[in-house]
Amino acid sequence: MILLPRDLRAALRENDALGRACEARGERFDPVPVLKLFNPLGSATWLATELDSDGDTLFGLADLGFGCPELGSFSLSEIAAIRLPFGLRIERDGAFATRLPLSVWAGWSHRAGSILRAEPILCRARPEDRGGG
């Protein structure tokens, strides 16, 4: 199972609660991704912003490596169950940190064709050049 430290789990749950509150008020909610999962042998990458109360359903940007990253829900347990060659599994990027909201990640990932190709662009760009999705 992919280990979610208590602080990450709490941040994901807090974003879920904030998102529901914003939705109830008719406000837009555009949180910053707090979790990055990746395939160490391929290009599949997931950025998560929220964790549902079931403790398994994440929401964020999913990129399975086919050139079309999508916003949506995905299962932590299903991702954790993926078995890769050489005994490897999907990993959590412990160094991942961003200040950019999910909409910016989604927009640039769509333009670049993947989260992996968007990441260096977003890291290098000046804030005013990043823009939204």
Q: What single-letter DSSP state applies at residue 11?
A: H
CA distance 44 to 123: 19
Residue type, 61: L
Q: What is the mean pLDDT of residues 63-73?
A: 96
Residue 125 pLDDT exceeds 60: yes
Q: Are 110 and 133 in contact (CB under 8 A)?
A: yes
Paired residues of 35 in beta bridges: 48
Q: How confident is the model at residue 130 (pLDDT cuts 50, 70, 90)?
A: low
Residue 1 has pLDDT above 60, yes or no: no
Structure tokens at 126: 């000046």
Rounded-to-integer distance, Cα 1 and Cα 17, Å: 24
Residue 123 is predicted with a pLDDT of 86
Secondary structure E strands in the chain: 35-38, 45-51, 57-63, 70-75, 91-92
Does pLDDT of 66 surpass 90? Answer: yes
Q: What is the pLDDT of residues 33-43, one digit of tens each?
A: 999 999 999 99
Reported confidence tier of residue 128, pLDDT bands at 50, 70, 90 = low
Give the DSSP letter of residue 89. Answer: B
Q: What percent of the chain has pLDDT over 90?
A: 89
The mean pLDDT value for 20-37 works out to 97
The yes-or-no verdict on residue 3 having pLDDT over 60 is yes
How many CA atoms does the CB half-sphere of 86 hold within 13 Å? 5
Q: Where are the domains of the chain?
A: 6-130
Give the DSSP letter of residue 125. S
